[in-house]
Structure 1
Amino acid sequence: MSELYHDVTGIVLAGGKSRRMGRDKALLPFGGRPLASRSVEACRALFARTLLVGGARAELRALGVPVIADDCPGSPLGGLITALRHAGTPWIFALACDLPWPEPRLMARLVELRIGYDVVVPRSAAGYEPLCAVYGSGCLAPLERLLAAGTLRLFDLYPLVRTRVVPLAELAELVTPGRTFVNINTPEEFAMISSQEERKTVQAVSFVAKSGTGKTTLLEQVIAELKARGYRVGAIKHDAHRFDIDHPGKDSYRFTAAGADTMLISSPEKLALVKRHAAAPPIEELLATYFGDVDIVLTEGFKMSGLPKIEVHRRDRSATLLCRGEENDPTLLAVASDEPLALDVPVLDLNEPRRVADFVEARFLR
């Protein structure tokens, strides 16, 4: 879809007591902002309306969305009841405030499955993920009965309503192990996850397009412009096919042909690494492993990743976009086009690569 969801309200649950943490989890400083802002931004990328449920703390109002005091404080179940009472839409998407890395594309996939169900809940290796799930208005009465009976576990709701459990196998390309469903409960967990975030300092943006649009040419020009401005630039090309950078007759080819799992060629000017793997590693792993010494990484492709994206559009190639139309990719930042377009993101002049570099610089390097 090309617009935000209007029949689903994004709900960020921030009513917990944070007893194990010892201070308000929603307001923990994470990446220079309150932790809850991550969940708020993920919801605002998808839903026409977002609410924050869980108390009227003045600090929460600074996150820029309406704050609803919890009707039934003390448990996520009570938070859902409050959300369903105030949402005004047939469904809500419930998201915990303590998720450091919420994934909008995963959220959108779950929302797409909502028709005919009261609950759409993912199930990871750790079990149900009830605070990254869709709940319909049909859940309100059963939740109220559970609360009246003193039952506070969300899991007890699922047998009572039409529930669609989504196994991890259906979401594999949208889930990053050790990140997507991670939440923060203790000071030790916060310290560990903050350390991971600090190490993830590489800025990256992916240029995507239909084949034959000219994204490689644009990338080449933007790289040259950013280099001229003094930035250290990395580049990654996504290749869906097999490729070889060493050839028969070369020593490097003989090493890999003999079965070497990792082969590196080094010279005074550069090095090249050939590493075998059974499956393509996540883009986040590539960035963290190989690009710690650059200011920005520009990738070509990786449309299915969670990276922020600039789509390249050429009128003569196609009348439609990859990231707007049948699909609404919330990670789209801008479109570089050779024609004017009415979009919800900036439209850059494809024939002015310097302006595209200006956008990348302003968004990622200042």
Structure 2
Amino acid sequence: MADAHLTDVTGVILVGGRSSRMGRDKALLSLGGKPLVGRVIDAFRQVFARTILVGDREERFREFDLEIVPDIYPGSALGGLHTGLARAGTPYVFVSACDVPWPDPRVIERLCSLRQGHDVVVPRTDGGIDPLFAVYGTGCLPAMERMLREGNYRIYDFYPAVRTRHVAPEELEGLVMPGRTFVNVNTPEEFETIRHKEEGMAVKAVSFVAKSGTGKTTLLEQVIMELKERGYRIGVIKHDAHRFDIDHPGKDSHRLTAAGADTMLISSPEKLAVVKKHPASPPIEELLETYFGDVDLVLTEGFKKSGLPKIEVHRKERSATLLCRGEEHDPTLLAVASDEALELDVPVLDLNDPAQVAGFVEQTFLK
């Protein structure tokens, strides 16, 4: 980081959104003991001499002790960006939405370092461009005002009319953490996934997911043996979408359960087993906290819709597509264990080398 704060770039944080998909104000959601907007403010204070909030809800943001500027053209992110640029009093602004959980000051500083000779400096990501984590100069104001008067609110539509610098991913190499730097929050489900990444859980867990017939149980079995040889205590949860019985007719334990016991436990000198009835599947977090406090790591099979970090098992002959990098882009995906080479934004491990997969799990969760 530079020693001096930038004085010709103002940090602008947009706080005027209504958070309709979230159902509550995204800016004030607490993550790691701090509201999301507070995390952006902390990052900006490391880079800029001045930061302002743009939005029309001053009463909600007074606690942050920053200038709050109401929108000139309310109702859109473009309007908020225009207001920030018009009111900043500096040649440039760096704009961010208020719901960015991991704003990296190094990335902000790098983007700002490219501003000379350009009106826009915008990063290009795997998902496209990120117009709300970018640099804008006052040369953009005429084009912005024209669009706002015409009712066109797509920020990037004015880029061809000004000097725009697209920053390729390789230009941010070593700074950007995949799946984190350009993330924002729109729905409760996304926030829970992000919260899980940030705050973690008392019990460490990773889920192995795959399409049926891919061989995830075989790989999981081999990984368990590898980790046990390395001295770790390992727990396992298998997700079953159907009814199952682990007891057998004729056994005393089966008779007691069949008689109506809600919880039945069998104990011996070597092990115990619990059969517990419940009206609905308990959350995975509850299972981990209740039953696995004495292990180093829990490996689960399935739970592909959970917020757990995931390793997807892929076999070429089973399917040409992935669960977590196909129609859906699962931000909890950590790696793919595959029997073919793949170009992905996460590590690709050798499906036929369980020691390598176990080593990745060990380094990620146990070191």
TM-score by length of structure 2 reads 0.56
- Quote how far apart the aligned CAs of 1:198 are: 1.3
Residues 52, 68 of structure 2: 8 Å contact kept: yes
- For 1:110, the equivalent position in structure 2 comes to 111
Give the CA deviation at 1:118. Answer: 0.3
Query: What CA distance in whole angstroms lies between the structure 2 residues aligned with 1:194 and 1:38?
Result: 14
User: 2:89 matched to which residue of 1?
Assistant: 88
Letter in 2 for 1:153: R
Q: Deviations over 1:91-113 (max 9, x none)?
A: 00001100001111001000000
CA contact (8 A) 2:16 2:57 kept: no
Structure 2 unmatched ranges of 5 or more:
203-225, 233-346, 350-360
What stretches of structure 1 move > 3 A for 4+ residues in a row? 261-267, 285-288
Secondary structure of the corresponding residue to residue 107 of structure 1: helix
Partner of 1:133: 134
| Partner of residue 167, structure 2 | 166
| Correspondence for 2:54 | 53
Q: Partner of 2:15 in structure 1?
A: 14
Distance in structure 1 (CA, Å) of the matches to 2:197 and 2:230: 30
The alpha carbon displacement at 1:187 in A equals 1.1
1:211-234, CA deviations, whole angstroms, 9 ceiling, x for partnerless residues?
A: xxxxxxxxxxxxxxxxxxxxxxxx
Answer whether contact 1:84 1:92 (CA < 8 A) is retained: yes
Q: Does 1:143 align with 2:144?
A: yes
Question: How far does residue 66 in structure 1 lie from its aligned partner after superposition?
Answer: 1.3
Q: Distance in 1 between matches of 2:91 and 2:168?
A: 24
Helix, strand or coil for the counterpart of 1:108? helix
Q: Distance in 2 between matches of 1:124 and 1:102?
A: 15
Give structure 1 stretches of 5+ with no counterpart: 202-260, 268-276, 280-284, 292-366
The structure having more radius of gyration, on CA atoms, is: 2
Give the match's secondary structure for 1:159: helix
Aligned to 2:183: 182
Cα distance, 1:262 vs. partner?
9.5
Aligned to 1:115, the other structure's residue is in SS state coil
1:290 maps onto 2:291 in alignment = no
1:64 Cα offset (Å): 2.5
**Deviating more after overlay: 32-41 vs 5-14:** 32-41
Cα distance in structure 2, aligned partners of 1:44 and 1:153:
28
CA gap of 1:90–1:54, structure 2 versus 1, over 3 A, is same
For 2:42 and 2:362, how far apart are their aligned partners in 1? Answer: 25
The secondary structure found in structure 1 opposite 2:64 is coil
Contact 1:9–1:50 under 8 Å retained in 2: yes
- In structure 2, the CA distance between the partners of 1:51 and 1:173, relative to structure 1 (3 Å rule), is same
Higher RCO (CA < 8 A, seq sep 6+): 1
170-179 vs 160-169, which moves further? 170-179
Q: Give the CA RMSD over aligned residues.
A: 3.2
TM-superposed CA distance for 1:264, in Å, is: 6.8
AA at the equivalent of 1:167: A
User: Which residue identity does 1:170 align to in structure 2?
Assistant: E
User: How much has 1:172 moved relative to structure 2?
Assistant: 2.4
TM-score (norm 1): 0.56
Equivalent residue pairs, number: 225
For residues 278 and 159 of structure 1, the distance between their equivalents in structure 2, rounded to whole angstroms, comes to 37
- Matches of 1:287 and 1:80, distance apart in 2: 42
Distance 2:366 2:163 in 1: 46
Q: 1:144 to 1:2 in 2, by over 3 A?
A: same
Q: Equivalent residues in 2 for 1:1-366 (5 A)?
A: 1-199=2-200, 289-291=365-367
CA distance in 2 between partners of 1:94 and 1:286 (Å): 39
Deviation at 1:59, TM superposition (A): 2.5
Percent pairwise identity: 50
- Measured in 1, the distance between the counterparts of 2:188 and 2:107 equals 27
Output the CA distance in 2 between the equivalents of 1:119 and 1:93: 10
Contact 1:200 1:288 survives alignment (8 Å): no
- Compared CA separation, residues 30 and 265, structure 1 to 2 (3 A): closer
Q: CA deviation at 1:278?
A: 9.0
Q: CA shift at 1:286, angstroms?
A: 8.8
